[in-house]
Amino acid sequence: MTRPRRRRRPRSSAATPAAVEDDDLLSEILLRLPPLPSSLTRASAVCKRWRCLASDPAFSRRFRIHHRRNPPLLGCFQTGTDGISFEPTLEAPNRVPPGRLSLQFNSFVRLLGCRHGLVLILDQTQQLLVWDPFTGHQHRLRIPRKFDPSKSLINGAVLRSAAGDVHFQVVLVVADCDNKLLACVYSTETGVWGTLISTPIPSGNSLHTRVCWEPAVLVGDSLYWILASTTLLNLLQFDLKRKSLAVIQLPADKSYDVLGRFISPEGRFTVTRAEGGGLGLLSVSGFTAQLWKMKTSFDGVASWGMEKTVQLEKLLSMDSEDYLIIQGYAEDNNLAFLWTGRSLFTLKLEPLQCEKLFDTNNWRRHYPFEIVYAAV
């Protein structure tokens, strides 16, 4: 004799809504939404209560901090004769309108780099401008006396100490006429430039040494720039914790003989974050890409080691008339922008993936803008 099956009681319709009646629990749920521009906007459209929570500045700051390790690549900045323009890389509904993140100038400006939601600009008056594209806030700085753009090519970087922090730092570097490499740090916490930091230019590199136009790359606690002289290429390292400068040699076949086969450091290689962490290097030659990593032996000696060689013809759908130039590197997403002369691609380094962005005939450096856009 079979027992009659018990009828299941319908779940209380109030049980599920009760789970999100608690504001603390609801904020934890919203906190885990994808860090895309449309996430909080869509959540705020549910009801007034959700909108109040999603638009709260304290929650926005928590949202940015929670996703600080994986901010999306919203697009890239480029400089032109009329100012700085923004080129979005995401599709709708996460596509940020270009005009919202563009800045007009009456004269040509140099874009030194962008990081942590801030853009560093050198204008024609030899002043620095730190610009927050989302809030529109602009912070102007005078360059220290030792940094004279009319005599030496200066470069710099901007960064925040922590995600969501209102304070930021600006680091300037230059190769001066006294065979020294100089650095100086400005902090909004103190409101002044710090003491001058210097290191000698290595012997054999002093003739016409300059810090290249490429923006700095942040790896760990150090910023890196390409350093070029008449005959050699190196890396300039600024340690943010120790406040010190150092020159790092490139792999032997990357320290090009400038008087011989060397063309230009711009676009041939870039500093990267190596697989598993640490200092890396991406170089391109012909249709071949090489990935290098700085390794330290048991006796503390650091040297470069080849990690991987990748043939890119098929990955990028290239033909015999194409060539490869690196046009930018996105630190947080660990991907490089590669231009073939006809099209712009992204090359994600870990794991290795290629994606075509658009067709273009213009050689233009791209300054990736990676940030969690938490505004509603």
Lowest mean pLDDT: which of 235-239, 351-355, 365-369? Answer: 351-355
Name the token pair of 182: 């100089």
pLDDT of residue 138: 94
Helices first, then strands: H and E counts in the chain = 5, 26
Residue 143 contacts by C-beta under 8 Å, 6 or more apart in sequence?
126, 127, 128, 149, 154, 172
Secondary structure, 3-state, 191-260? CEECCCEEEECCCCCCCCCEECCCCCEEECCEEEEEEECCCCEEEEEEECCCCEEEEEECCHHHCCCCCC
pLDDT of residue 292: 93
Give, in degrees to the nearest 5, the angle at Cα 287 between 344 and 277.
75
pLDDT at 129 over 60: yes
- Secondary structure letter of residue 48 according to DSSP: H
- The predicted-structure confidence for 267-283, as pLDDT tens digits, reads as follows 688 999 998 889 999 99
Amino acid residing at 284: V
Burial class (CB in 10 A: 0-12, 13-18, 19+), 230: middle
Question: 329 with 348: CB under 8 angstroms?
Answer: no
- CA gyration radius for the chain? 24
- The answer to whether the predicted template modeling score (pTM) of the entire model surpasses 0.85 is yes
- The predicted-structure confidence for 304-333, as pLDDT tens digits, reads as follows 999 999 888 877 777 767 788 899 999 999
Confidence of residue 178 (pLDDT cuts 50, 70, 90): confident
- Dihedral, CA of residue 248, residue 119, residue 125 and residue 227, to nearest 10: 10
Which residue is it, tokens 């100490």? 161
Which residue is it, tokens 């638009």? 55
pLDDT of residue 199: 93
Name the token pair of 264: 């230009």
Confidence of residue 117 (pLDDT cuts 50, 70, 90): very high
pLDDT at 261 over 50: no
Name the token pair of 185: 């740090």
Confidence of residue 262 (pLDDT cuts 50, 70, 90): very low
Confidence of residue 346 (pLDDT cuts 50, 70, 90): very high
Percentage, residues of the chain above pLDDT 70: 88
Q: How far is CA 294 from CA 222, 310, 320, in A?
A: 14, 18, 33
Question: 334 with 272: CB under 8 angstroms?
Answer: yes
Question: At how many degrees (to 10) do helices 23-31 and 57-66 cross?
Answer: 40
Percentage, residues of the chain above pLDDT 90: 44
- Dihedral, CA of residue 57, residue 59, residue 62 and residue 68, to nearest 10: -80
Q: How far is CA 213 from CA 132, 173, 360, in A?
A: 22, 11, 22
The SS3 assignment for 360 reads coil
Percent of the chain as helix, strand, coil, to the nearest 5? 10, 40, 50
Residues of the chain within CATH 2.120.10 domain(s) are 68-370
Confidence of residue 342 (pLDDT cuts 50, 70, 90): confident
Q: How many CB atoms lie within 10 A of CB 69?
A: 9
pLDDT of residue 259: 38
Q: How many CB atoms lie within 10 A of CB 107?
A: 10
The SS3 assignment for 327 reads strand
CATH number of 68-370: 2.120.10
Name the token pair of 96: 């940020």
String of DSSP letters for 101-162: G-EE-SS--EEEEEETTEEEEE-TTSEEEEE-TTT--EEEEEPPTT--TTTS--EEEEEESS
Closest CA to 106 of 80, 131, 87, 130: 80
Mean pLDDT of 47-52: 90
- The predicted-structure confidence for 138-153, as pLDDT tens digits, reads as follows 999 999 988 877 777 8
